[in-house]
Amino acid sequence: MSLSRQRRFVTPGPDETVEELARRAMPDQPLEGAVDAIKSWNLHVFVMRRPPGLMLGSDVIFVEPPLAHA
Amino acid sequence: MFDVIVKNGVVVDGSGSPGYRGDVAIKDGKIAAVGQVSGEARTIVDAGGRVIAPGFIDPHTHFDVQLLWDGAARPALEHGITCVVPGNCSLSLAPLKIADRQRLIGMFQQIEEMPPEAFTTAFEWTWEDFAGYREALEKDLSINVAPLVGHSVIRLWVMGPAAQERAATDAEIRAMQDLLRECLEAGAVGLSTSFVDVDENGRPVPSRFAQFEELDALCAVLGEFGRMLQCVPEFYATDITLARIDQLAELSLKHDIPTTFSPLFDTLAAPENAERAIARVEEQFARGARVWPQMQTRPIDISFSLLRPSLFFARLPRWVRILRQPLVDRLAALRHPETVAKMVADLGPDGGEAMMGRLVARGGDACPADLVGQSLSQIAKARGQAPALALIELSLENGLDVSFLSASAGHQSTDRIGPMLAHPLVHIGASDGGAHLSSFSTYGDTGYLFSEFVRKAGAMTMEQAVAKITSETADIWGLKDRGRLQPGLAADIVVFDPDSIDRGEERPAFDMPGDGMRYVRDATGIDTVLVNGQIAYAKGEYTSARAGVVCI
């Protein structure tokens, strides 16, 4: 049985900033847009967390929007 | 001559096979014979036609500290539980240096809602390493214990305060591996980690600062022993839960270990959550990974008063801060008009109607009798106040001793939960036994399994339900000597009435250290419980037997 496709994610590297993560995960995108997109796809880190934007090594950071599912 | 014969019952052996009339004989703590047993015994237990089953296993508890003054994990044992797994969610009482005790107590207080006095007044804390904790545990056990070791405390031991600040170095990861290996050799059943929890200051717990490479390295050690990785994922967010399932599957396949996450959470607000998680688990099992979702049987009902902090306010940081203060300071804050105005404003323009309006005054406390059973919305309307303000003022008028119930915050649909519990890849657990003391009773989930999902809903047979919480749990966790009525295995046995086994009403009990209150549920329909061949509970009374062990 093959795995169905799931939403793509990465985990942050040690001391990695969101800009560095965006450059790594979305190298073909303009940096500013990639950062904004990552922030909008990961409200659990960039909005709901205290302090907002504190990325942890164990975090799941989505690098694409939610997929449509049946 | 046997030591004990439990006779004249219906043997439900834990395999899921239909029960049959028979007896179970015990010798030297082990099951010696099952079926029509002839011969004599020093003790005869007459099952009186009731079910004779393996003792139930509870795989997700926080009895770490309670077991040190109550080796029966009351009231778990009287519900038929003969083995508990403490140390979940990255927190365990060992290995832990003296200097880090207060830090761990703060985490338990915040995450598991346990009073700090439970850690400081009820036992003598004599150990630092896992072997020392095991030795302290085994002095007075009536129930079996399969303890996990917590990732957060392993990090704390190796990294000190930096455990909550940064990634580990390669040398620190190697030190953690060595320490984990030492814990597993001393009897830990596996490792627990957390992706969601914060300490009493709102800081993420140490395990959350670990890179995936660190967890991978620790799982390599688990692989040497074939032992369990448990985690608590972001269960409220479907996509993140699916990502965690994939991470666990990767670790399971790479290191040939079982993994489990808890809870698998169902809510009518996001009905696709649990269904999608189960579908992903099915895909991963088909690849050979072992990722067991744990699902609790009971609906999520949260009770609280302003006498104590409560997870009900978890999304309201100001409320959490105020309610965690000492009573004198808390009262002062709640009497301060500007502070109260800010608290009410935190609820938004509806004054708390959406979040609090459906709360119900529980009664059995200082609440005026005429308000018991009314919703906070009704109470607030009658007072001409916003619900949040009515909650505060009604509490102040009655010494803060007014309890409210938030009913059915999840897992409220038996029609949905039943088939999920019966699913062959869903692991029944996540009771949180011994935690969340003043929020809800974490005891009686097994009784509820039989009353609600076997008798009422017919979601599974009684034999299937027994298998779910005995042999299947033992197999998932690698508890080789338990979970079945089979010659040679440990004689952990429960005798119960299948027509009446249930959980009682939730009630407050005042038997804990510190401020002393917790919610409990009494057992119904449990006749006798044997642990390693000795009668630990019979006819409504605990015995003096102390046959529990740390088991793996």
**Residue where a domain terminates, one of B353, B388, B408:** B408
Do B63 and B158 belong to one domain? yes
C-alpha distances (whole Å) from B316 to each of B104, B232, B312, B343, B438 are 23, 22, 9, 9, 18
DSSP state of A13: P
C-alpha distances (whole Å) from B25 to each of B3, B12, B37, B38, B539 are 8, 14, 7, 9, 20
Q: Enumerate chain A positions whose Cβ falls within 8 A of a Cβ in B.
A: 1, 3-4, 6-7, 9, 11, 13-15, 44, 50, 54, 56-60, 62, 66, 69
Look at residue B10 and tell me if it is in a domain.
no
| R_g of chain A, CA atoms, integer Å | 13
Which amino acid does the sequence have at B550?
A: V
Do B68 and B198 belong to one domain? yes
Mean pLDDT in chain A?
A: 93
Smallest Cα distance from A32 to chain B, Å? 24
| Pair of tokens at residue B318 | 């100001």
| R_g of chain B, CA atoms, integer Å | 23
Tell whether the model's pLDDT for residue A1 goes beyond 70: no
Distance of CA B88 to the CA centre of its chain: 8
What 3-state class would DSSP assign to B119? helix
Look at residue B2 and tell me if it is in a domain.
no
Subunit contact A7:B204, Cβ cutoff 8 A: no
Bridge partners, residue B10, by sequence: B21, B51
Do B222 and B131 belong to one domain? yes
Do B417 and B375 belong to one domain? no
Q: In what order do the strands lie in the sheet with B81-84?
A: B56-58, B81-84, B144-145
Question: Of A14, A56, A62, which has the smallest distance from its Cβ to B208's Cβ?
Answer: A56
Do B212 and B107 belong to one domain? yes
Q: What is the mean pLDDT of residues A21-41?
A: 96
Look at residue B36 and tell me if it is in a domain.
no
Contact list, B204 vs chain A (CB under 8 Å): 54, 56
CATH code of B174's domain: 3.20.20.140
| Pair of tokens at residue B134 | 């095991």
- ipTM over 0.85? The verdict is yes
pLDDT at B515: 66
Do B89 and B238 belong to one domain? yes
Look at residue B546 and tell me if it is in a domain.
no
Containing domain of residue B326, as a range?
302-408
Distance of CA A16 to the CA centre of its chain: 12
> Residues in chain B with pLDDT < 70?
515
Look at residue B72 and tell me if it is in a domain.
yes
CA nearest A1 in B: which residue?
B286
DSSP characters over B34-57? EES--S-EEEEEE-TT-EEEEPEE
Bridge partners, residue B493, by sequence: B54, B530
**Residue where a domain terminates, one of B358, B386, B408:** B408
Do B147 and B295 belong to one domain? yes
Look at residue B24 and tell me if it is in a domain.
no
B82, B220, B223: which is closest to B145 by C-alpha? Answer: B82
Report the Cα–Cα distance between both ends of chain B, in Å, rounded: 29
Longest dimension (CA), chain B: 77
Look at residue B207 and tell me if it is in a domain.
yes
Do B240 and B256 belong to one domain? yes
Do B213 and B176 belong to one domain? yes
d(CA B433, CA B63): 6
Tell whether the model's pLDDT for residue A70 goes beyond 70: no
Subunit contact A60:B240, Cβ cutoff 8 A: yes
Do B388 and B432 belong to one domain? no
Q: What is the pTM of this model?
A: 0.94
Q: Which residues contact B385 (CB under 8 A, 6 or more apart)?
A: B351, B393
Look at residue B46 and tell me if it is in a domain.
no
Do B96 and B142 belong to one domain? yes
Smallest Cα distance from A27 to chain B, Å? 22
Do B132 and B228 belong to one domain? yes
**Residue where a domain terminates, one of B408, B437, B467:** B408
Number of domains observed in the structure of chain B: 2
